[in-house]
Amino acid sequence: MLEAKIYNPVKIVFGVGCVREVGKYTSRLGRKALIVTTSGGSMRKYGFLDIVSKSLEEHRVRCAIFDGVKTNPTTEIADEGTRVALRENVDVIIGLGGGSAIDVAKAIAVTAASGGSSKSYLYIYGGKPKEALPIIAIPTTHGTGSEVDRYAVLTDEEKKAKVSIVSDLIYPSVALLDPELTVTLPPRLTAATTVDALAHSLEAYVARYSNRMAQIYAVEAIKEIFENAVRAYTNGNDLNARAMLLWASMLAGLAINIGRTCLPHALEHPISAFLDVHHGEGLAALLPTWIKLGLKERIFNMLARELGLKDASELYEKVTSLLREMGMDVRLREHGLTEDMVDKLVDNAWTYLMPLIENNPYKVSRKDASKILLEAI
């Protein structure tokens, strides 16, 4: 008998040029916004920050900017942004950038309204937000799907625990998905963010917590990724391919919001907590062995057939072929991972990420996890 629990309050606006509507939507939520974005300068370089600021000005919304977000952001970065939000007395938070910027925006929305530090709201510490400022999410990558989910991933630098704030309060009020904002992504980042969306889709489909709605989202996302990933990788100006990958990333976000992630994310989070590696590249190194260990599982074969493939073995070949075509057949030794680090990474996963491990479709031992990590080196 089919059972499901589904909730998603995000207003999704998708289309070329829709970022210019940010002022209209923000003005319905507040009068002063904090734009949370990355520290690398790309949002200024490509004019995205100007577009957002101008739209806000046209709708009489004042703004402040926090541009201190880095890849794999820490709770300290989020708390720094919160201090800016409180000093500027803002009442809306806008996340402009990839998943890191949007996740930090969510954390700021919580701590600016509920008080305390972002660290206290990570699920491993049990803190529950009481309120949050409204959030508008504007993704500039096609990977995380954070614009439509209730997660904000941050790293507790002291414990090297990369985990989430999980709350219905941090669903964005509005998600503006403008494919033009993704055209400037370089090939390597195009590939890495796409792998993240692919992993979300694969994991959400097979996860123990999944249901039929999550699987519907996931299948559609995977199909679009298989069809458009290499096109966008080889020709970054292919706006249609970019649009479909952004669409797929959003669908994958909806999928993990229901089914959640499982083993690949449980093992990758420790990797990017300890090493300077992009989340998508870490996942790319882990996905093949994870799928291989599940070849006999009914759920992997069911997914393969829904994708028009013969069986899970063909799914494995399809995924590994795509990774090769995008230069994502990576080895983590390139990022500093060594065999003597494996036990520490497994310990980290078993300590902080057990909910993801238990959500895996097949039972996993520490030995299995070590095998996956060793094969990724």
What is d(CA 300, CA 305) in angstroms, rounded to the nearest whole number?
Answer: 9
In a domain, 296, yes or no: yes
- For the chain, the 3-state helix, strand and coil shares in percent, each to the nearest 5, are 60, 15, 30
User: Which residues on neighbouring strands pair with residue 161, listed in sequence order?
Assistant: 156
- The amino acid present at 328, given as its one-letter code, is M
Of the residues 146, 181, 216, the one at which a domain ends: 181
Q: What angle do CA 63, 181, 138 make, to 5 degrees?
A: 45
354 plus 259 within the same structural domain? yes
At 276 the pLDDT is 81
DSSP state of 175: E
On whether both 170 and 201 belong to a single domain, the answer is no
Q: What phi and psi, each to the nearest 5 degrees, are found at residue 185?
A: -65, 130
* pLDDT (0 to 100) of residue 40: 79
When divided into structural domains, the chain yields a total of 2
At 72, list the tokens.
């794999």
136 alpha carbon, distance to own chain's centre: 16
Q: What is the pLDDT of residues 170-206, one digit of tens each?
A: 999 999 999 999 999 999 999 999 999 999 999 999 9
Q: Are 95 and 38 in contact (CB under 8 A)?
A: no
Q: In the listed set 181, 199, 222, which residue is the last one of a domain according to the structure? A: 181
In this structure, the answer to whether residues 214 and 269 fall within a common structural domain is: yes
Structural tokens at position 254: 């909806």
Choosing from 181, 196, 230, the residue where a domain stops is 181
pLDDT tens-digit map of 8-30? 999 999 999 999 999 999 999 99
By C-alpha distance, which of 90, 188, 105, 92 is closest to 139?
105
Nearest-CA neighbor of 138 among 189, 185, 172, 188? 172
Q: 27 and 57 in contact (C-beta within 8 Å)?
A: no
Beta bridge partners of 13: 176
Question: Which sign, positive or negative, has the C-alpha torsion 316, 161, 163, 83?
Answer: negative
Are 259 and 354 a contacting pair, CB within 8 Å? Answer: no
195, 84: one domain: no
Rounded distance between C-alpha atoms, residue 314 and residue 358, angstroms: 26
pTM of this structure: 0.97
Q: Which domain holds residue 200?
A: 185-376
| Predicted local confidence at residue 6, as pLDDT | 83
Instruction: State both tokens at 270.
Output: 């420790």
Asked if 177 and 200 sit in the same domain, the reply is: no
- Token duo for residue 305: 């057939």
- Residues 177 and 214 grouped into a single domain: no
341-to-18, 96, 305, 328, 348 alpha-carbon distances in Å: 45, 35, 37, 22, 11
Residues in the chain predicted with pLDDT less than 70, given as ranges, are: 1
Same domain flag for 231 and 93: no
